[in-house]
Amino acid sequence: MRNRDLATSKLGRTDLTVTRLGFGAMEIRGSRIWNGRAVTEAQADRILNAVLDAGINFIDTSNDYGRSEEFIGRFISHRRSEFYIATKCGCKVVPRDENTDDTPHEWTRENLFRGLHESLSRLKTDYLDIIQLHNPSVEQCVEGELVDALKEMKQQGKVRWIGCSSTLPHITAYIEWGVFDTFQIPYSALERAHENVITKAAQSGAGIIDRGGVARGEPGVGLGGTDRWVKFEQAKLDELREEGENRTVFLLRFLLAHPDIHTTIVGTANPEHLDENISAAQRGPLAASIYAEAKRRLEAIGEKPETP
């Protein structure tokens, strides 16, 4: 039975109304890319359809996320009207014996369009809701005339909105340009550098997609890394958790309390973890007093926003 209780928000100046809990499809990339977990076709089928069955309507992927786009096209393209898809360009995958970097970037118009057409084919769709530059420097963006390429994609009707996955210091210039409809920005309670940048970007009218915001709950893996949990413990955030609320749920609710994050993409290939994320999202953001106290405690240990 489909769940319709997830909160939504308008993604900046786009016409997309997205669920505040989105799905990050990097977790179904397979083991070929960045030491990902092995994922069977049956697992990918199950998790992608479970995402849509839950009412989540925003899925983020990338041209270099292994089999992610392929799985989305194979297993849920027949449900295209139920979700928005955002992917990334500028990246490519090369044979492992050709380059030590499995997924290098090539900031040219030709490679951006190669990625676009490959993504459309894999995803089995004739348009993308959002295409995002995959974290180029400002210099690379200017030299490659990348914005012009994205605008051309939009003019051709193959892309509805253009965005950029970016970080400091480059994102400050991108915000000032005023050309990107969305920004994908890394942020969590345990890595707060971009907290104020998110607000600045949202004030410009751009839609904000948060990534990397929720730990996987596994020591030594991703945001579940030991160093990050040390911050959680040093700030004594366990004292602020509600009864029965685990750390991952607390982190997700912390994100939802940021007023300028429109959607946060959380990845998993495990249906049980997906259910946990959905339950956390349904509980809504942390209470204002708890949110303020959590930020105060984090700042006391030196975990605070950078100035844009």
Q: For residue 218, what pLDDT band results from cuts at 50, 70 and 90?
A: very low
Q: What is the mean pLDDT of residues 256-269?
A: 94
Q: What is the mean pLDDT of residues 269-278?
A: 91
Bridge partners (DSSP) listed for residue 130: 86, 161
pLDDT, tens only, 74-124: 999 999 999 999 999 998 765 555 555 567 789 999 999 999 999 999 999
pTM: predicted TM-score of the whole model, two decimal places:
0.92
Q: What is the mean pLDDT of residues 35-42?
A: 80
| Whether the predicted pLDDT of 308 surpasses 90 | no
Q: What is the pLDDT of residue 223?
A: 46
Q: What is the pLDDT of residue 7?
A: 95
Q: What is the pLDDT of residue 160?
A: 98
CA distance 62 to 29: 10
Q: Cβ neighbours of residue 274 under 8 Å, at least 6 residues apart?
A: 47, 50, 51, 54, 268
Domains of the chain (ranges plus CATH)?
8-218+260-283 (3.20.20.100)
pLDDT, tens only, 139-193: 999 999 999 999 999 999 999 999 999 999 999 999 999 999 999 999 999 999 9
How many Cβ atoms sit within 10 Å of the Cβ of residue 178?
9
The pair of structure tokens assigned to 126 is 């004739």
| Whether the predicted pLDDT of 39 surpasses 80 | yes
Q: What is the pLDDT of residue 21?
A: 97
Q: What is the pLDDT of residue 229?
A: 83
